Structure 1
Amino acid sequence: MKIHPWLYLSCLLLATTVQAAPTSEEANLSLLLTQLNILESTLKRAEAQATVAPDTRFFFDYPQIYSDIHAMREGINTYLTPSRAQPRTVETFPARYRTEVAPQ
């Protein structure tokens, strides 16, 4: 299987972008969504340029990778924008009502 130079460069670009990632989880996941968009557009170019020789035994499964990218994108979007409010932490009382000294 021959790896095209543009595919190698795309992977390299994604790897260097991840190294310089923002610090918050939301920022990292938003960056990942952008990278998925870049990856999808690169795959579309690859699919358009793909040539299939009659004696080729294996083919790249473009519909499957598009499905996987879509599933990842949906999962990240669902996490970043939940459908309902998240439960908040309940503050506890110290529950120490007994003292050693009588009130004056």
Structure 2
Amino acid sequence: MPLPHRHRWLPALLLTCLSPLATAGEAELRAELAVLMRQLDGLERQVEHSAVLATDGYTPNGSRYHFDYVRLREDMHRIRGGIQDYLTPTRAQPRDPVELRGDYRRESRDKGTP
């Protein structure tokens, strides 16, 4: 059903009004991701500190599982890379995401880096 002559400007007005809202959403998302990057910086510092404490105070106490800091660092690096790729895209096509490894518990027989 066509719009009456006096209401033909309505779609143009709606597009004009809604366009800044879409831009504001993008700006808000970028701001939230920037905050997340700062929080990730703090989390990485805590992980490094915890890894040092775990290495310095490591005594085999018979515990079967230990926290796998290496795997956590790798996943945090992937998360950081994904956020940076979104904030500063290098190409227009989406990339295939790399799965996080997860499962940060490893058995004590693994004598690798804590």
Scaled by the length of structure 2, what TM-score is found?
0.52
| Structure-1 residue corresponding to 2:8 | none
| Structure-1 residue corresponding to 2:70 | 63
Is 2:58 aligned against 1:52? yes
Map Cα deviations across residues 58-87 of structure 1 (whole Å, 9 max, x no partner): 11000000001000000000000011469x
5+ long unaligned stretches in structure 1 = 1-22, 87-104
5+ long unaligned stretches in structure 2 = 1-26, 94-114
Instruction: Give 4+ residue runs of structure 1 displaced > 2 Å after superposition.
Output: none
Q: Which has the higher strand share?
A: 2
| Structure-1 residue corresponding to 2:31 | 27
- Higher Rg of the two aligned structures: 1
| Structure-2 residue corresponding to 1:36 | 40
* Greater length-normalized contact order (CA 8 Å, ≥ 6 residues apart): 2
Scaled by the length of structure 1, what TM-score is found?
0.56
Q: Distance in 1 between matches of 2:90 and 2:50?
A: 36
Q: Distance in 2 between matches of 1:38 and 1:65?
A: 14
1:52 Cα deviation from its structure 2 partner: 2.6
Give the number of aligned pairs: 64
Read off the aligned partner of 1:68 and give its amino acid letter: D
